Amino acid sequence: MGYKETYNRWLTSDAVDDDTKAELRAIADNEKEIEERFYRDLEFGTAGMRGILGAGTNRLNIYNVRQASQGVAKYVKSRGEDAAKAGVLIGYDTRNFSRVFAEETAKVLTAAGVKAYLFPIVHSVPEVSFGIRELGCAAGVMITASHNPKEYNGYKVYGPDGGQLPPDAADVVVAAINSYDIFDDVKYISLDEAKEKGLLEIPGSELDEKFLDVVQTQQQNPEAVTAVADTFKLIYTPLHGTGSRPVQAILKRIGFKNVLVVKEQDTEDGNFPTVVSPNPENKEAFDIAIEMAKQNDVDVIIGTDPDCDRVGIVVRDADGVYRTLTGNQTGALLVEYILRSKKEKGVLPADGVVIKTIVTTELAAAIAESYGVEVMNVLTGFKYIGEKMTEFAEKKNHTYLIGFEESYGYLVGTHARDKDGVVATMLIAEMAAYYKTKGMSLYEALMDVYKRYGYYAEKTVSFTMPGKDGMEKMAALLKGLRENPPVKAAGMDIVLYTDYQSQTVKDTKGNVKPLTGLPKSNVLKYNLSDDKTYFIVRPSGTEPKIKIYLGTFADSFEAATAEIEKVLADCKEQFGLN
């Protein structure tokens, strides 16, 4: 069925509500908009679905949320009666329609005979991941689009370990979803009927308290907080998201007395009125907090995104300037802090492991190596870190210490299998207190890390390519890079080509070795002849973007940064990006 036929079906179907039909009639004269909304189904990948809110198969709405939930129900029931009884935990963030989509999910699951646990209020990603494990659920669903702009929402599916579904399980769910017609095959009941049948349960606040209990166990130096609590001040902003309740609670629990909250951003508002995008990667999101910091003599600002799985920080440098740290810099600080703390206390395990993604800073590897700790690289996406954690738990062959990715996601502790902005905020705040007891700021601690391990610099640049044309352009770019690979960048030869899709590593002489240990992924990596600079090209799995990740190290941060900029400029010119 073509896009126009699908559009007309939505307009005439009795299953579609009047408001949705009115939205579609309003674009009747806009052929390009009709095509954009209906030329494909919203893709359901290993991170679930994420898309712009609205009517259409290529938009997120109650109809494809119900269809996805029907597929999840089939997946759970295929694992046996016990799985259906164990049920699915459903969480949701502060975005527009999040509560609605969560309720629709519960209606479909319970109609299929699968028990549903539906949180009564907004909850963060780590609380959902923890809750799945604590309740012994067969799966979980989180309604969120993470740090995307207000126009977006999403539907993430988790396995019984609390991690996002790995590719093989996601394929099963996708097949189940595709086996159902979006209208004719989807069944649902009311929440009242689900309760009467004993298929719907509302988790109480005791689950939230258990989550905070386990997060608190990850403190490294509780005495540092006690030592500076009377004078130490920090600013926290939830960016209109789910972090407000758990983050403020954990900071209070561990003894911080002077936590200033950005009140303008401490509201559950899916329109995110104070920011362009609720993304702690963007300094703009911290504008209000920085003004507060200047007025209150604050050294560190911490912000979490709407589903509280990502954390960004702003620190004050030696000249009093407030600077945002990258995810790589914050991750490196946390790795150094955790390994140092455990070594000082004599509890650093011999089989300890730090896990990072292939696009994440090599500074973490240099730090871990200095402590005799192994580093493992996984594909981009925290689900791959979660997979390793579950493997460690089953085989009992390694001790997980910290996992992180450059996109501002960190997890310390094994209570969850996804990024945890609550535990990360707690440890960043504690880390700042620890360094204050040493007479240092977090900025000075970062400079010390560079002095000890080398001046590593990284940069991630995104090129947005929206719509059908953008999808085609991204595919053509990756195809062109494979068929006619670049040979130089910034005057240096490219000496090693790694293709994670074909699972090969090729050198300039044509020698090819298999890439082992990682699943296939549409990612290309290029190593340059200076033996320290690289760049990676990867299409985003959640947004219509091509991303270029660059990294190197040098004798100074300025030199490393300058080298990155030269390589980036060359890449943009060669690849036709701007």
CB contact burial 398-420 (16+ within 10 A = b; e otherwise): bebbbbbbbbbbbbbbbbbbbbb
| Overall pTM surpassing 0.85 (yes/no) | yes
Count the neighbouring beta carbons within 10 Å of the beta carbon of residue 498: 19
Could you tell me the two tokens for 557?
């941060």
- Whether 124 is catalytic is no
Parallel/antiparallel/unpaired status of strands 352-357 and 88-92: unpaired
List, by residue range, all CATH 3.40.120.10 domains of the chain: 40-203, 221-453
DSSP symbol at 41 = P
SS3 label, residue 536: strand
SS3 label, residue 74: helix
CA distance 90 to 201: 10
Q: Determine contact, residues 246/364, Cβ cutoff 8 Å.
A: no
* Cβ-Cβ contacts under 8 Å for 78 (sequence gap 6 or more): 172, 176
CA distance 266 to 245: 10
Secondary structure of the chain: what % helix, strand, coil (to 5)?
A: 40, 20, 35
What is 456-575's CATH number, 3.40.50.2000, 3.30.310.50, 3.40.190.10, 3.30.530.20? 3.30.310.50
Strand-pairing partners, residue 271, are none
DSSP notation for 475-521: HHHHHHHHHS---EETTEEEEEEEETTTTEEEETT--EEE--SS---
Q: Classify domain 40-203 at the CATH class level.
A: alpha beta
Parallel/antiparallel/unpaired status of strands 524-528 and 492-499: antiparallel
* Cβ-Cβ contacts under 8 Å for 113 (sequence gap 6 or more): 73, 77, 84, 199
Could you tell me the two tokens for 271?
């329109």
Strand-pairing partners, residue 463, are 546
Tokens 């709405």, residue? 61
DSSP notation for 364-401: HHHHHHHTT-EEEEE-SSHHHHHHHHHHHHHH---EEE
Nearest to 375 by CA among 417, 425, 339: 339
DSSP symbol at 26 = T
CA distance 3 to 5: 5
SS3 label, residue 147: coil
Could you tell me the two tokens for 226?
């006690």
473-478-479-480 Cα dihedral, nearest 10 degrees: 90
SS3 label, residue 134: helix
Q: What is the 3-state secondary structure (H, E, C) of 400-418?
A: EEEEEECCCEEECCCCCCC
Write down how long the chain is. Answer: 578
Could you tell me the two tokens for 294?
């200047």
Q: Determine contact, residues 400/355, Cβ cutoff 8 Å.
A: yes
Nearest to 131 by CA among 219, 213, 203: 203
DSSP symbol at 281 = T
Could you tell me the two tokens for 342?
């455990």
What is 221-453's CATH number, 3.40.120.10, 3.40.50.1860, 3.40.50.1820, 3.10.129.10? 3.40.120.10
Q: Which of 146, 244, 341, 540 is catalytic?
A: 146
List, by residue range, all CATH 3.30.310.50 domains of the chain: 456-575
Q: For residue 498, which amino acid is it?
A: T
Half-sphere exposure of residue 518: CA atoms within 13 angstroms, side-chain side? 26
Q: Residue 198: which region, alpha, beta or left (left: phi > 0; alpha: psi -120 to 50)?
A: left
Taking only the tens of pLDDT, the chain with its 578 residues reads: 899 999 999 999 999 999 999 999 999 999 999 999 999 999 887 678 999 999 999 999 999 999 999 999 999 999 999 999 999 999 999 999 999 999 999 999 999 999 999 999 999 999 999 999 999 999 999 999 999 999 999 999 999 999 998 888 888 999 999 999 999 999 999 999 999 999 999 999 999 999 999 999 999 999 999 999 999 999 999 999 999 999 999 999 999 999 999 999 999 999 999 999 999 999 999 999 999 999 999 989 999 999 999 999 999 999 999 999 999 999 999 999 999 999 999 999 999 999 999 999 999 999 999 999 999 999 998 999 999 999 999 999 999 999 999 999 999 999 999 999 999 999 999 999 999 999 999 999 999 999 999 999 999 999 998 888 888 899 999 999 999 999 999 999 999 999 999 999 999 888 999 988 888 899 999 999 999 999 999 987 667 789 999 999 999 999 999 999 999 999 999 999 87
Nearest to 95 by CA among 305, 313, 286: 305
CA distance 557 to 507: 29
Tell me the CA end-to-end span of the chain in Å, nearest whole number: 36
